[in-house]
Amino acid sequence: MKRNADDSNPVMIGQTDWYAEAGKRPFIEDGFTPELMMRIEQAAANKSSAYKRYWINKNVVLTSLATILLIGALTFPMGIWKNTGPIHSSSVQSQGAGILPSSSSATNDKALEPPTSPVEFEISGKKYYMPLPMNRDKSKAYAVETTAGILWSPPPPMVDYKKPKYTHPTEPFTLYLSSKDQTELSASSATRIYTLPLYAGGASTYQYLSGFFGAGDYALLFTYTKTIGSGIMENGRFFILNVKKAATGESVVPKELTSFDWELLEYKSIIAVDKEHDQIVFSYLEYPVDKTYQDKTVLYDMETLSIQTPASTIGFRDINGQSLTMEYEMNGELCKADILTKGGPGWIDEDWAFLSEERQNELYQEFYSQTP
């Protein structure tokens, strides 16, 4: 992905060009708040000195994963996150300065509508435009490429009380599918695929779409919730959506992956997609106890979300921050997968668990200062 250097409101997108900076920022997210950082740091401080480990509970781990879909700060222990990832250099350009009239011809009613400003995406070398009202949060505009077309989601209207903890959407996040030949991403000419619920367990708790990855016939979705007054991202969840089926008119509902222990990814990990075999690949380094490093790989079928036959990653510890693909062995067959994101402090230093707190802080500050 590409974005203007002076763009203060980056937008996420598809999954081609963002690979270019894959290793420079192994944990990235736009919505990573100071509050969340404080929670993570506090959790780390509560661990005994003999077991120095950046730790957060499962909800926060997955939420960080979800927010990886956003460009921004380093996430501990891991970041997975906006359309793409550390994993993430967006091929999107936000056109916040441009103001265009409504795409529909003006009538007395239309004349009352606010002017629109397009968000520009570059996917596989082609530019796409999403007209949006000027008051929409462009950081929540998403678009990725799938085999069925361009899957995209516009930012919903928000009520803004000038207090971040009380700002919330007034309409749900919605997913649309447009033809790859259609350069304007407009709901009037697209197919609505799925609408997320507005509320999540109560009238004061709202559902947010954190972003998504394109994965061939499928899309990997990340969501979280926020409750009015708290401003904290909670209840991160991971879903798979069959976009190909949706494109044929079949009613589809995202399937949630609940059987995987996300805490396994917190030290040093990769999430990848094997489009040939329609599989999600989770490859991770187990938390080292005595500098004995053991990597493991788990495969999930993207249609059934069932665990596939055992697999092993080829040269996990040789994979570097710039790597765009990974190889793994399954039933004696050598397979390849596209890396979506990398997460965990092990990408900064594989011996992270054995470093002093002072050295960890030094490396963290060094990494943070070098992250554009």
DSSP strands (E only) in 199-324: 205-215, 218-227, 234-242, 255-256, 268-274, 279-285, 295-301, 311-313
Per the domain annotation, does 372 fall within a domain? no
Per the domain annotation, does 7 fall within a domain? no
Tokens describing residue 196: 């997320």
Angle at 310 (CA atoms; ends 306, 312), nearest 5 degrees: 125
In contact, 251 and 262? CB cutoff 8 Å: no
In contact, 341 and 220? CB cutoff 8 Å: no
Per the domain annotation, does 41 fall within a domain? yes
Q: Which backbone phi and psi does 59 adopt, to 5 degrees? A: -60, -45
Q: What is the mean pLDDT of residues 111-121?
A: 71
- Chain centroid to Cα 326, Å, comes to 19
Q: What span, in angstroms and rounded, lies between the C-alpha atoms of 150 and 11? A: 15
The pLDDT tens digits of the residues spanning 158-212 come to 987 777 788 999 999 999 999 999 999 999 999 999 999 999 988 899 999 998 9
- Segment (H or E) for 363: helix 357-370
Q: What span, in angstroms and rounded, lies between the C-alpha atoms of 41 and 14? A: 31
Please state the pTM of the whole predicted model. Answer: 0.70
State how many domains the chain has.
1
In contact, 154 and 132? CB cutoff 8 Å: yes
In this structure, of 85-89, 120-124, 195-199, 307-311, the range with the lowest mean pLDDT score is 85-89
Burial of 190 (C-beta count, 10 Å sphere; 0-12/13-18/19+)? buried
Range of the domain at 207: 12-262
Per the domain annotation, does 39 fall within a domain? yes
- Segment (H or E) for 133: strand 126-133
Per the domain annotation, does 272 fall within a domain? no
Angle between helices 58-66 and 34-45 (to 10 degrees): 140
Of residues 11 and 334, which shows the higher confidence score?
Answer: 334
Per the domain annotation, does 106 fall within a domain? yes
Q: How confident is the model at residue 13 (pLDDT cuts 50, 70, 90)?
A: very low
Per the domain annotation, does 205 fall within a domain? yes
Of residues 79 and 335, which shows the higher confidence score?
Answer: 335
List 121's β-bridge partners, or say none. 92, 128
Per the domain annotation, does 103 fall within a domain? yes
